[in-house]
A = this chain, B = another copy of it.
Amino acid sequence: MPVTIKDIAKKANVSVTTVSRVLNNKPDVSEKTKSKILKIINELGYNPNGVARGLVLNRTHTIGLIIPDIRNPFFPEVARGIEDKAKEYGYSVIYCNTDNKKEEEKKAVELLLNKRVDGIILSLSMNNRDELDRIKKQGCPIVQIDRKVPDANYPTVTIDNLISAYNATKHLINLGHKYIAHITGNLDTKTGQDRLNGYKKAMHERGIHISQEWIIEGDYSKESGYKNMKRILNLKNRPTGIFIANDLMAIGAYKAVFESKLNIPEDISIIGHDDIELASLVNPELTTMAQPKYEMGKHAARLLIQEIEGSDQDNNQNILLNTELVVRGSTGGVG
């Protein structure tokens, strides 16, 4: 139905080869033929078939992106970074949301492999190394983002979560807090583990004993922050500070605090993690550790495309980005 390279060739009285040459800016075409062909291409509104091209070149100029949920405020920023960098190199991106379900992750990988994307950027649930290996076996380059599947030796763009959590906790300690709780992330993820360990490290380093009940596992959702904060607030010895593994949970926690008629930071200091847009819009504004999200996306796309195009030297780069402490109104001195 749509016009093909053959139609152009026929109308121009040349072979498809010649048309293909001008399409791809190859040399060895006379100026005259070239302009004639170009004119006809324009007239007929010809749009080359990328699928056919993909079949012969074995390149789709498409990359896949596997993330838990685009509605999680972390990902739109990252995704936009990826897209912008990808576009720069002439690639576009297919999204797959998995809700952290292994089954969905598997499906997504299959789908993308089947679509013959040139590479995949992914943020998988922790114990899903199998998928990574499956992709690699198919010869499809990958870059992990945000989360690193343990022991999986593939290029990764992450932040140093341990140091970041360590710094967050130290911020509270430096303010004089000693009773510091932690609502963790999903402990099936390395991110969650690292942030927990950073918290522990800071506490141990200052010789502060951690009461068992101070550590509660969350799942990164607002509801989880709310629910777990309720539990924290009901402890006999209520902590005066808390490090919450992401901002979304911290914002859920706000609600729990307000419902208890307590004040932030007077009664409890809260520090979050990620610096999502929301963080500066709640009241009091949330102290948090800022992730360079957009930049993470750009780095990941660059790494991946360099690997695809074989122009990287070191194909197992790990990019570790630093977070930055953003002090706002939700943390203060003790009592």
Residues of A within 8 A of B (CB): 1-2, 45, 47-52, 54-55, 60, 62, 69-71, 73, 75-77, 79-80, 83-84, 92-97, 110-111, 113-116, 134, 137-139, 251, 254, 277-278, 281-283
Q: Is the CB of A114 within 8 A of B48?
A: yes
Contacting A116 at CB < 8 Å: which of B50, B84, B93, B137? B50
Q: Are A71 and B80 in contact (CB under 8 A)?
A: yes
Measured in the bound complex, the distance between the Cα atoms of B281 and A95 in whole Å is 28
Tell whether, in the assembled complex, residue B139 and residue A2 are in contact, meaning their CB atoms are under 8 Å apart.
yes
- How far does the Cβ of A44 sit from chain B's closest Cβ, in whole Å? 11
Task: Quote the shortest CB–CB distance from A64 to chain B (angstroms).
Answer: 9
List the 5 shortest-distance A-B pairs measured between CB atoms, nearest first.
A283-B283, A50-B114, A70-B76, A51-B54, A71-B76
A282: contacting residue among B71, B113, B283, CB under 8 A? B283
| Chain B residues whose CB sits within 8 angstroms of the CB of A113 once the complex forms | 47
Which residues in B have their C-beta under 8 angstroms from that of A55?
49, 51-52, 55
Task: Given A51-B54, A115-B51, decide whether A80 and B97 contact each other with a Cβ distance below 8 A.
Answer: yes
Also in contact, A138 and B51, with CB within 8 A (given A80-B71, A281-B251, A283-B283): no
Q: Which residue of B lies closest to A104 (CB)?
A: B87
Are the CB atoms of A80 and B76 closer together than 8 Å?
no
Could you list 10 examples of A-B contacts with CB < 8 Å? A45-B138, A47-B114, A48-B114, A51-B55, A55-B55, A70-B80, A83-B97, A84-B97, A254-B281, A282-B282
Contact B2 A115 (CB under 8 A): no
**B251 lies within 8 A of A115 (CB):** no
* Closest Cβ–Cβ distance, residue A134 to chain B (whole Å): 8
A259 CB to nearest B CB, Å: 14
Q: Are the CB atoms of B76 and A92 closer together than 8 Å?
A: no
Chain B proximity of A67: nearest CB distance (Å)? 11
Task: State which of B49, B50, B70, B278 has its C-beta within 8 Å of the C-beta of A79.
Answer: B70
| Complexed CA–CA distance, A132 and B333 (Å) | 59
Known: A70-B70, A94-B93. A116 touches B80 (CB 8 A): no
Q: A70-B70, A94-B93, A282-B281 are in contact. Are A116 and B79 (CB under 8 A)?
A: no
CA distance A79 to B77 in the complex (A): 14
